[in-house]
Amino acid sequence: MIGRGGRAWATLGLMSALYFIITAATFGSLGLALPAMVSELGWSWTGAGFGFTLLGFLCGITSGVPATLVRRFGVRTCLVAGAGVMALAFICLARTNGLLLYFLGASLAGLGFTLLDSVPGTYLISRLFHRPSFAIGLFFTIGGLGGVAGPLLYSRIVGAAGDWRNYWLVMGVLVAATGVIAAFVVDAQTDVGDTGADPDISTETWTMRGALQTRQFWIIAAAYAAFQFCGITASAVSVAHLTQHGVAAAVAGSMMSVEALLNSSARFVGGILTRFVSARTMLCISLASLVVGLIALGAARDLPMMLIYAAGIGIGYGLTLFSATILLLDYFGRGPYLELFSTVNLISTVGAAAPTLAGLTRDQTGGFTPFFVVLALLVALVMLAVLTMRAPHTRPA
């Protein structure tokens, strides 16, 4: 029999493994598969980028679905549904011969990702651990490592199986199986509430409506959208951008692994540093890293500049994800967290437009760099807003 503490860590381990696999199978792989798919099927980069946009868009626009399923039917139902949706998604991707089936597969993968990843994961962790910041950081770290494994898994499986179609089938089986196992093993009952609560987490009585009326919520949402914009852009077009400027495809792909490794490391470091450095300070640092990474990506032609790009995007992405999530919990408490986190994910859906806009920029200008520069300026504006932000307080009744 696993005790309550053991069930908490077992749940953390399973949800982290699930996050790892779905990250590897989607955002960690599609950018590698797209050049082969474009070449074989004769697509434009605008069309190919739109499929990646649909993946990100559905991840955000459906973020309210897991919250509704969890509140009405429980976490287990949410995870089983996600496993089924992911299985259908990968079947579509494996069998695609045209853009419509590719778009359907990418859309279903986006919905499945939402049903299986951070919304149910952070919800469970926030209920199972008295001081959840380290556990959330570890969860995000292991999930982020899926981005490191994605390119490696893609190369190995395609090398053994012969093409990208078999890769989608293999990953579909892995994702669906892990989702079903997690659904039946996680601790969906325990709720530590505010007993021995983390002193950084607000104990004020916040409601979702009250939080939505604060300036701080919208700044956090903007930061969340910013890292989604940057991360999806890098995943979708960095390989194509670098190879366009003479970088070998293998080297360009390896930068995605470096970026993903630093992304994961930043989440883990954030979980440790949160005891000593405020989440708001970490958010400012992370947004600045994204700006540096975008500029470096646009200028990258050699290894040193590519490493700066990988470090900037990787550290910025991972630390922004972690610090924005923790700030949401710290500022507004555990009560409305599930709905607020789902709402933030919904708002961040605007980041899904990045691959399509980047692809359109390349089709119109011949390169991706102008898009990177404009995006860097927007992220810098969000960073300035975070610098002026202070913790909100509920209004007296």
Beta carbons within 8 Å of 367's beta carbon, 6+ residues apart: 241, 244, 361
- How far apart are the C-alpha atoms of 379 and 290, rounded to whole Å? 7
Query: Residue 351: what residue type?
Result: G
CA angle 289, 246, 28 (to 5 degrees): 50
In tens digits, the chain (397 residues) has pLDDT values of 344 557 888 899 999 999 999 999 988 788 788 888 888 888 887 788 788 778 877 887 888 899 889 888 988 999 999 999 999 999 999 999 889 999 999 999 999 999 998 889 888 888 888 778 888 889 988 887 887 788 788 888 888 877 889 999 999 999 999 999 999 998 888 777 655 556 667 667 788 888 898 999 999 999 998 988 898 888 778 888 888 888 888 888 888 778 878 888 888 888 888 778 888 999 999 999 999 999 999 888 888 999 999 999 999 998 998 899 889 888 887 778 888 888 888 888 787 778 788 888 888 888 888 999 999 999 999 999 999 998 888 765 4
- How far apart are the C-alpha atoms of 116 and 18, rounded to whole Å? 7
- How far apart are the C-alpha atoms of 62 and 114, rounded to whole Å? 7
Eight-state DSSP code of residue 348: G
Domains of the chain: 4-194+202-387 (1.20.1250.20)
Q: What 3-state class would DSSP assign to 193?
A: coil
Eight-state DSSP code of residue 386: H
